[in-house]
């Protein structure tokens, strides 16, 4: 144990206690059994903080063993080690007279005034702090008398715990302020105000309008993560969330509300309007024979989506058609006869036709040219 005298005891040196008896002896130490009871170094006052305890480094000399010490006040306790070293403890604010005695009690006594003074509680975070939801923060307690305890006046706003002299606080999902009360072993307290700030939840965009078979992204700002989403009509629109981003898929014509709720229970609603049904083109495929003396005209019916519509084929397949156009809701595809156009194929040929609406929603149908046999193509 570190000597209390060196670590924290302020010792006021009083008048030197002179020993009686014969002269001689190194360092001024009297000789003989009748040497005067004294302490070394000679002191008459000691100060120490409440909660401190240990050796003062002060030694009892002279007199006649055994030695003892008594304290006049419970604020300071004291005892002597087997080798006559004075140990003291600061228990609470107060002043005590320590009386060191020998076998001759009460003939020979040495009195020392010991004062214990509490060091005020303090933290390295001050007396106020601000947290975000789910934010953890640590600060240290000093002063007072350990061990310490801590509690939060509103655990729905901030939770608090302590390990040794380190306090950990965590901001929860509820906005507001609470008092973190730190109490030491002597009953002294220190209050720290902890405030949790939650920004108002908002979304962008606040409403969505579009055709079926499209998707949109809604961005969440503020509130308290994590978030959950739900749709009032999943036949019209569905939603999923990842972090602060909500993906909204438009399914079919109609209206729905997408409700976004944060961890604190706050909700915002995104209104969704699907103004057209999903783009559909039928039939999905048609077949023509490579051997035909006349041109072949095929029609496909278009429903849903947003007009106007545009048919597209790859440049390599464009020569297979003399007509590829849309009138109203009808796609017309004309293939030339086998004698004037490239209808000859060495194997069944599938030609995709992509139909786009004005929102660039795509639906794909196809034409299959059926191989008519082992005939060499020109």
254 within a domain of the structure (yes/no): yes
Around Cβ 88, how many Cβ atoms within 10 Å? 27
pLDDT in tens, 62-94: 999 999 999 999 999 999 999 999 999 998 889
231 and 255 belong to one structural domain: yes
pLDDT in tens, 227-236: 999 999 999 9
Around Cβ 223, how many Cβ atoms within 10 Å? 25
332 and 365 belong to one structural domain: yes
Question: CB under 8 Å to 27, separation ≥6 — which residues?
Answer: none
155 and 170 belong to one structural domain: yes
Domain with 340, as residue range(s), is 280-370
Cα torsion 139, 144, 150, 152 to 10°: value is: -80
Say whether pLDDT at 13 is over 60. Answer: no
272 and 306 belong to one structural domain: no
CA gap 303, 171 in Å, rounded? 54
375 within a domain of the structure (yes/no): no
264 and 308 belong to one structural domain: no
Per-residue DSSP letters for 260-300? EE-TTS-EEEEEEEEEEPPPEEESSEEEEES--SS-EEEEE
Let me know the angle formed at the C-alpha of 241 by 235 and 247, rounded to the nearest 5 degrees.
Answer: 55
CA gap 345, 336 in Å, rounded? 14
267: preceding bond cis by omega (within 30 degrees):
no
162 and 224 belong to one structural domain: no
Q: Per-residue pLDDT averaged across 304-327, rounded? A: 93
How many domains does the chain divide into? Answer: 4
pLDDT in tens, 236-279: 999 999 999 999 999 999 999 999 999 989 999 999 999 888 88
The residue out of 144, 176, 196 marking a domain boundary is 196
334 and 272 belong to one structural domain: no
CATH of the domain at 63: 2.60.40.1080
Question: CB under 8 Å to 23, separation ≥6 — which residues?
Answer: 30, 31
Q: Are 336 and 343 in contact (CB under 8 A)?
A: yes
What pTM did the predictor assign?
A: 0.53
Largest CA distance in the chain: 149
pLDDT in tens, 89-119: 998 889 999 999 999 888 899 999 999 998 8
192 and 208 belong to one structural domain: no
378 within a domain of the structure (yes/no): no
The C-alpha R_g of the chain, in whole angstroms, comes to: 47
Q: Which pLDDT value is given to residue 376? A: 64
10 and 112 belong to one structural domain: yes
102 within a domain of the structure (yes/no): yes
The residue out of 218, 253, 276 marking a domain boundary is 276
**Per-residue confidence at 24, pLDDT binned at 50, 70, 90?**
very low
CATH of the domain at 296: 2.60.40.10
| Residue 335 token pair | 């293939």
330 and 287 belong to one structural domain: yes
16 and 98 belong to one structural domain: yes
Q: Which pLDDT value is given to residue 241? A: 97
- Smallest CA-to-CA distance from 178 within 163, 192, 164 is with 192
Cα torsion 19, 23, 25, 31 to 10°: value is: -60
The residue out of 166, 196, 226 marking a domain boundary is 196
Residues of the chain above pLDDT 70, percent: 89
270 within a domain of the structure (yes/no): yes
């Amino acid at each position: 144990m570190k000597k209390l005298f060196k670590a924290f005891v302020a010792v006021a040196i009083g008048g030197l206690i002179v020993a009686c008896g014969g002269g001689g002896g190194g360092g001024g130490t009297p000789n003989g059994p009748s040497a005067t009871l004294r302490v070394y170094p000679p002191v008459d006052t000691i100060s120490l903080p409440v909660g401190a305890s240990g050796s003062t480094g002060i030694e009892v000399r002279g007199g006649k063993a055994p030695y003892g010490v008594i304290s006049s006040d419970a604020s300071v306790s004291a005892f002597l080690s087997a080798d006559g070293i004075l140990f003291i403890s600061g228990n609470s604010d107060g002043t005590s007279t320590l009386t060191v005695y020998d076998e001759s009690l009460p003939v020979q006594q040495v009195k020392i005034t010991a004062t214990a003074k509490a060091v005020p509680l303090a933290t390295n975070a001050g007396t106020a702090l601000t947290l975000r939801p789910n934010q953890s923060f640590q600060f240290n307690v000093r002063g007072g008398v350990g061990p310490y305890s801590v509690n939060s006046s509103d655990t729905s706003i901030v939770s608090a715990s302590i390990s040794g002299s380190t306090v950990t606080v965590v901001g929860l999902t509820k906005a507001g302020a609470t008092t973190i009360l730190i109490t030491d072993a002597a009953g002294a307290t220190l209050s720290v105000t902890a405030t949790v700030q939650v920004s108002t939840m908002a979304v962008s965009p606040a409403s969505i309008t579009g055709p079926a078979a499209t998707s949109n992204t809604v961005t969440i700002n503020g509130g308290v993560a994590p978030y959950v989403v739900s749709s009032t009509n999943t036949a019209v629109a569905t939603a999923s969330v990842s972090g602060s981003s909500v993906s909204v898929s438009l399914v079919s014509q109609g209206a729905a509300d997408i409700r976004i709720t944060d961890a604190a229970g706050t909700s915002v609603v995104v209104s969704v309007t699907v103004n057209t049904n999903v783009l559909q083109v039928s039939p999905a495929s048609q077949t023509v024979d490579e051997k035909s003396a006349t041109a072949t005209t095929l029609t496909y019916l278009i429903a849903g989506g947003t007009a106007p519509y545009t048919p597209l084929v790859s440049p390599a397949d464009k020569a297979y058609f003399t007509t590829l156009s849309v009138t109203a809701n009808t796609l017309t595809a004309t293939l030339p006869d086998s004698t004037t156009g490239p209808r000859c194929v060495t194997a069944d040929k599938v030609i995709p036709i992509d139909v786009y609406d004005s929102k660039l929603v795509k639906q794909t149908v196809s034409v299959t040219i059926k191989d008519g046999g082992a005939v060499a193509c020109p």
